[in-house]
Structure 1
Amino acid sequence: MSLPAIDTAGLFDVAGKSAIVVGATGSFGKVVCATLGRAGARLVITAGNKDELAALGAELAEAGVAAVAVNRRPNGEADCDAIVDAAIEAYGGVDILVIASGVNDVGMIGDLTSGRFQKVMQANVEGAWSMARAAGQRMIAQGRGGKVVFTSSARGKLGHPAGYSAYCTSKSAVDGLTKALGCEWGKHGITVNAIAPTVFRSPLTAWMFEDNEHATNVRNGFLARVPVGRLGEPEDLAGPLLFLCSRASDFHTGHIIYADGGYTAG
């Protein structure tokens, strides 16, 4: 039997692809921009903070990455259509959609209001659904397939004792959306998957990496459940992301990829 003819050199190639990054200025959003941009993808970056978006755009331009900035969040049909239209105008279509945005509102359920719960659900679930709907319709019309990547969390699978009822619920919903659209769009050659990180280094988690008694105690308690024995780094998310955005994942859809050092395995 001869060796299979596998083009390993092109498996992870995204050069020239049109990629929308929603929530581009966040910690994971910047990982997405750096990973796809440096791999040759042409970006549409979106976020609600105009100044942060402009700063990111300038940084990408300095790095030689093609990027068009759209100062919108996926808060409704008009916003989502405008984001997709920007990709079509700039690059002629949409090949990749990454939803890197999201919020949390920590509070024990007795202290949360319905409004606070709904805000988390809107940002993490409805926004993702609306953006996927707009981009997916365009991908289907183009007839060349596509890649959709949601951001889930280990908390979509596991509960948390410290007031995560809104966040865990929202991420479980993202997991369900991933599976539903993976089934619905498979016939169109569109794969839909999610990356589910646990703690990784970012401005929000920087305190956990510090050398003081409180950080050490929290970190050690967390690491007791992480088989690889360390917290995550931004580059730990880059590999799974590139896999899910390239043809290497053409036979993978509806999956939740846990980038967690084995946290959810035990």
Structure 2
Amino acid sequence: MNVLANPLSMFEVKGQVAMITGASGAFGMVAARVLAGAGCKLVLVAGNQDALDEIAQECRGMGAEVTAINKRPSHEDTCDGLVASAVEAYGRLDILVVASGMNKVALINEMEPETFEAVMDANVTQSWLLARAAAGQMKAQGEGGKIVLVSSARGLLGHPAGYTAYCASKAAVDGLTKALGCELGPTGITVNAIAPTVFRSPLTAWMFGDDEKAKTVREGFLARVPKGRLGEPEDLAGPLLFLASKASDFYTGHILYADGGYTAG
């Protein structure tokens, strides 16, 4: 097939098996909905049972086959087991989206070392463990694969209000993405990251409000955003489908900023 004559075929992922960790979080839910709508078979992983059940049921209502696993990818054995569960359910694993992670905000002299280590573990070590487990399976299949990590604009930019752990962890995710992109490129496995700025979610809903605090914070932030608005969930949908599909086969080790131009200025 000439893909240039049928360019939409490059974005076809129907029937592929996708595992999403942090599936009950803001980005994870976007990923679940997008890949369910695109026809993937899903393995949804999250630590919040109620929220996991809700997004799993929603995806099933969209016609997707869904396996829901109530776990956090906190240890090597757990991550290996999650990949094994995907293979047991569907026979293979084609796409991994690591949307799990955490943030703890505190000024450096007010943050305990244990808190810093917890953020680094959730955002960096667990991403490494999941990529390691998924890459092993994808290599064994011999058909390549797609690994999508979640970074942040804060991996590139600092923040004055207690983000030392978060910024450091996301900068490390960027480095991990580039290193894995180089290492796994010869196997046909691509590794890329999506790096959002502020987008609408339960955690950021207050920034979209009409009270004075929200307006002040929002206007200060938007002064740096060329597009002149905050992000919406659908702003993450296109980049995710691109990175999960054949359309991105020649792209690896990239950080794709979904930020309305925030990091460009």
The bucket for the TM-score relative to the shorter chain is over 0.9
Is the contact made by 2:16 and 2:41 (CA closer than 8 Å) also made in structure 1?
A: yes
Residue equivalent to 2:199: 200
Structure 1 CA distance, aligned partners of 2:3 and 2:92? Answer: 33
Deviates more, 1:72-81 or 1:14-23: 72-81
Is the contact made by 2:198 and 2:204 (CA closer than 8 Å) also made in structure 1?
A: yes
- Give the unaligned 5+ runs of structure 1: none
The one-letter amino acid of 1:16's match is G
Structure 1 CA distance, aligned partners of 2:51 and 2:30? Answer: 15
1:22-171 paired onto structure 2 within 5 Å: 22-171=21-170
TM-score by length of 2: 0.98
1:83-121 deviation digits (Å, cap 9, x = unpaired): 111110111101000001111010000111110000000
1:187-238 deviation digits (Å, cap 9, x = unpaired): 0000000000000000000000001111111100000000000000000000
Structure 2 CA distance, aligned partners of 1:103 and 1:196? Answer: 15
Residue equivalent to 1:185: 184
Q: Indicate the percent of aligned positions where both proteins have the same amino acid.
A: 61
Is the contact made by 2:93 and 2:137 (CA closer than 8 Å) also made in structure 1?
A: yes
Indicate the SS of the match to 1:98.
strand
1:229-259 deviation digits (Å, cap 9, x = unpaired): 0000000000000000000000000000000
Does the alignment pair 1:173 with 2:172? yes
Structure 2 CA distance, aligned partners of 1:219 and 1:35? Answer: 28
Does the alignment pair 1:221 with 2:220? yes
Indicate the SS of the match to 1:16.
coil
Is the contact made by 2:15 and 2:39 (CA closer than 8 Å) also made in structure 1?
A: yes
**How far is 1:51 from its partner?**
2.0
Is the contact made by 2:3 and 2:9 (CA closer than 8 Å) also made in structure 1?
A: no
Kindly report structure 1 stretches of 4+ aligned residues shifted beyond 2 Å.
Answer: 3-7
The one-letter amino acid of 1:8's match is P
Structure 1 CA distance, aligned partners of 2:46 and 2:91? Answer: 21
Structure 1 CA distance, aligned partners of 2:127 and 2:59? Answer: 24
**How far is 1:59 from its partner?**
1.8
The one-letter amino acid of 1:265's match is A
CA RMSD of aligned residues (A): 1.1
Indicate the SS of the match to 2:108.
coil
Is the contact made by 2:155 and 2:174 (CA closer than 8 Å) also made in structure 1?
A: yes
Deviates more, 1:52-61 or 1:34-43: 52-61
Indicate the SS of the match to 1:125.
helix
Q: How many residue pairs are counted as aligned between the two chains?
A: 264
Is the contact made by 2:3 and 2:10 (CA closer than 8 Å) also made in structure 1?
A: no
Is the contact made by 2:196 and 2:259 (CA closer than 8 Å) also made in structure 1?
A: yes
**How far is 1:4 from its partner?**
8.5
TM-score by length of 1: 0.97
Change (3 A) 1:74 1:219: same
**How far is 1:53 from its partner?**
1.3
Structure 1 CA distance, aligned partners of 2:3 and 2:59? Answer: 38
Residue equivalent to 1:12: 11
The one-letter amino acid of 2:62's match is A
